[in-house]
């Protein structure tokens, strides 16, 4: 019974990590687009708007990168837990 519950928890954590990664990937793409718009505004002479837009895009991109790293760390932890369980059951 406990093993079945652990497998359900692992599956749920993997599902959440997958969604987090997909969200981070989408948000990173959007942030890159926002940064490009900011660069375009800077080149067109709208310096204040371009600066704010580009800075916002870069900040969002940095946050998304951190979220993707956290997701990978969680998956590594799950893999470690699975390996530990396999070693304990042998």
Here the tokens at position 32 are 């890159």
pLDDT at 4: 57
| Every domain of the chain and the residues it spans | 2-78
pLDDT at 2: 53
- The span from the CA of 29 to the CA of 57, in Å, is 10
pLDDT at 1: 45
pLDDT at 65: 77
- The span from the CA of 90 to the CA of 20, in Å, is 33
pLDDT < 70: residue spans in the chain: 1-4, 89-90
Q: Considering the entire predicted model, what is its pTM?
A: 0.60
**48 touches 38 (CB < 8 A):** no
Which residue's entry shows tokens 């993707």? Answer: 68
């Amino acid at each position: 019974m406990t093993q079945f519950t652990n497998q359900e928890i692992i599956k749920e954590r993997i599902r959440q990590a997958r969604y987090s990664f997909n969200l981070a990937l989408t948000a990173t793409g959007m942030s890159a687009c926002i940064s490009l718009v900011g660069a375009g505004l800077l080149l067109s002479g709208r310096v204040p708007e371009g600066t704010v837009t580009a800075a916002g895009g870069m900040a969002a991109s940095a946050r998304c990168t951190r979220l993707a790293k956290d997701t990978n760390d969680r998956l590594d932890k799950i893999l470690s837990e699975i390996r530990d369980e396999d070693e304990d059951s042998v």
